[in-house]
Amino acid sequence: HVQLVESGGGSVQAGGSLRLSCKITGDPYSSNCRAWFRQAPGKEREGVAALYIGGGSTYYDDSVKGRFTISHDNAKNMLYLDMNSLKPEDTAMYYCAADARSRGDYCNRSPSDFTYWGQGTQVTVS
């Protein structure tokens, strides 16, 4: 069993930066893939970035490439999402997620492929 708790959301002006954090506890073998998703009102949940702990491979949605960076600190069991050059369209509830499954050395990208979820943290860009 894995538990995830996000923090770091808030309100920021366009062009600003935020760092989201996710504390991950529980069985580390159940969280080989760790990811950030977001969901805006009236829209489906979408993958933002993912990280395969085993090999370090990462995935970024095209909309955030070059602006967002996913990283992790094994010693602290923390997952991070550094968000720069934020845009109003980045406004959403952001969720961290984890799952044991992967596609080889890469993580799956669909919300349905992730078992464990945090409660979400709101990011508002104006």
Which tens digit of pLDDT belongs to each residue from 15-48? 999 999 999 999 878 889 999 999 999 999 999 9
Determine the Cα–Cα distance for residues 20 and 59; give it in Å rounded to an integer: 17
- Check whether 1 has a pLDDT greater than 90: no
User: Starting at the edge strand that comes first in sequence, how are the strands of the sheet with 2-7 ordered?
Assistant: 2-7, 18-26, 78-83, 68-73
Q: Tokens in use for 65?
A: 């490439």
- Check whether 80 has a pLDDT greater than 90: yes
- Check whether 98 has a pLDDT greater than 90: yes
Q: Tokens in use for 113?
A: 């492929």
